[in-house]
Amino acid sequence: MPLPLPSIGRRAVLAAAAASASTVVPGLSGPASAASSVGRGSRRLPGGGDLGPNVLVFDPSTPNIQARLDEVFRQQESAQFGTGRFALLFKPGTYHGLNAQIGFYTSVAGLGLSPDDTTINGDVTVDAGWFNGNATQNFWRSAENLALVPANGTNRWAVSQAAPFRRMHVRGDLNLAPSGYGWASGGYIADSRIDGRVGPYSQQQWYTRDSAIGGWGNAVWNMVFSGVEGAPAQSFPHPPYTTLDRTPVSREKPFLYLQGDDYRVFLPEKRTDARGVTWGSGTPRGTSLPLTRFYVARPGVSAAALNQALAQGLHLLLTPGIYHLDRPVEVNQPNTVVLGLGYATLIPDNGVTAMKVADVDGVRLAGFMIDAGPVNSPTLLEVGPPGAFRDHCANPTTVQDVFIRIGGAGPGKATTSMVINNRHTIVDHTWVWRADHGEGVGWETNRADHGVVVNGHDVLATGLFVEHFNKYDVQWYGERGRTIFFQNEKAYDAPNQAAVQNGSVKGYAAYKVGDGVTSHEGWGLGSYCFYNVDPAIVQHHGFAAPVRPGVRFHGLLVVSLGGNGQYEHVINDSGSPTQGTSTTPSTVVSYP
């Protein structure tokens, strides 16, 4: 979030939803909680189960829906580093007069196959009253699979990082800024239809993918579109629109839905040269799995039990809460789904890697967080082992709405947050964040050298947010890599120039393509600096790449926020330096 903001301490531990809000999912069999299967040796673990007290399921006849929504919001509105986690699910039907205000670690979603199966005549709202109208810390919340008829014609969704808006149909306008148009700092829309106009107002950057919009209002620094019907034409940098007619490859996020009284998980099919929504004809294309094929995990379950379920061929559904791990969760079988609800959070306590994926086809990771533990982990998420080589073009791994945090909720360390070794992996919307505020924050306290390292070939990133790492934020060594939209801030808290000196180069690039790479392409990439400890720090460039015809970039920018630090160039030795306190981007339209 590119504004200087005060430190925020850890919030008090929040109570779970009241007993009256607990929901037992009908039509399922299995243990009352995943933890009940721990310690039973090698017996086969059951699939299915109830979704626990922090999944609230409503239908149109449910009494006092608004009161229950308000109760969750009161707990979560300002709980930036709290432990509460909630999923608010609406069965198909029509709901009247609701305003679902969405706070931290809260997901709201419909349970139909199409967004239009579940209509709210009202709003799903994110604003910034808790932070005096500043939305730059409105993180970790989501809206999915709903149709909205906004009460006043406009739905407000004033968010920053890690707040996806997926499979939504807004029958009106969408406002991406807080009341009073205070700052907001970046977000993500996918597979959505906005019948009216999208008004970003003060949003500094935004990425919209495979959607349809009735119009787009303005741009501040960096607005990127791929496969969006109604998107503004390519015009970077005046105004700063980077527009691709189609998305090269996409496969939408898995989602929970109801078939009669039975819960299933839908798996959308892969699309190439994608444009527009997947559900335009009502039913999306893909396959589905019954919940009986999933191990429904509850907080308190061990990593050993999760691995036992995976080894027996079950998928994982992580219900809302915090999961402490003493060993990696190992996803070794092809086509495995790991789906989180309500920002389920994995914490490796003893320096292990939180999750490892084998070199297999079709793994889908979606909808959960990984929070670094107090003991340094070499990596937090490893997609494919070192040396992975298999071709996964027909059935890639997807990593969607998987968010990684180092520090903020308490001390955490990791040398590298996410490593992508598997070929053809699609990273579709991630925020990898070394915390700049909260608890356990300091240049060495939450040390994390690298954000994302890509070794696999043919990897595509759509919506890549990586911030504040001690060295390189992104390093890309695989061939034929592509990134559509990148948002970055360099670490605020570098103590001096020497701390960020990279040999003879001033500072570490936000995004570095390996010297041996011959083919790489990126669209709509931005890096910002705010060196608030030593504003005299100079960063030679935001982007570094070998100078070769096959390595190409489009729509690059760097920004010095209020003159706190300076970039001498945009990419390599190209692009003008950022100057003074005007917070004006320096841009490069195309490189080389």
Q: Which residues are catalytic?
A: 489
What is the Cα–Cα distance from 396 to 529, expressed in whole angstroms?
Answer: 34
Q: What is the token pair recorded at 399?
A: 């990593």
| Residue 194 near residue 147 (C-beta atoms within 8 A) | no
| Residue 332 near residue 314 (C-beta atoms within 8 A) | no
Phi-psi region of 570 (alpha: psi -120 to 50; beta: other; left: phi over 0): alpha
| Residue 456 near residue 424 (C-beta atoms within 8 A) | yes
Q: Counting Cβ atoms within 10 Å, is residue 5 exposed (0-12), middle (13-18) or buried (19+)? A: middle
What is the Cα–Cα distance from 561 to 567, expressed in whole angstroms?
Answer: 11
What is the Cα–Cα distance from 101 to 109, expressed in whole angstroms?
Answer: 13
Give the bridge partners for 122, in sequence order: 98
- Dihedral angle sign, alpha carbons of residues 510, 185, 379, 391: negative
10 Å Cβ neighbour count for 326? 11
What is the Cα–Cα distance from 479 to 477, expressed in whole angstroms?
Answer: 7
10 Å Cβ neighbour count for 2? 24
E-assigned strand segments in 61-116:
86-90, 93-101, 106-110
- Half-sphere exposure in the Cβ direction for 586 (13 Å, CA): 27
10 Å Cβ neighbour count for 283? 12
| Residue 372 near residue 405 (C-beta atoms within 8 A) | yes
Q: Counting Cβ atoms within 10 Å, is residue 286 exposed (0-12), middle (13-18) or buried (19+)? A: middle
What is the Cα–Cα distance from 55 to 68, expressed in whole angstroms?
Answer: 12
Considering only CA atoms, give the Rg of the chain.
22
Q: Kindly report whether the peptide bond that precedes residue 237 is cis, defined as omega within 30 degrees of 0.
A: yes
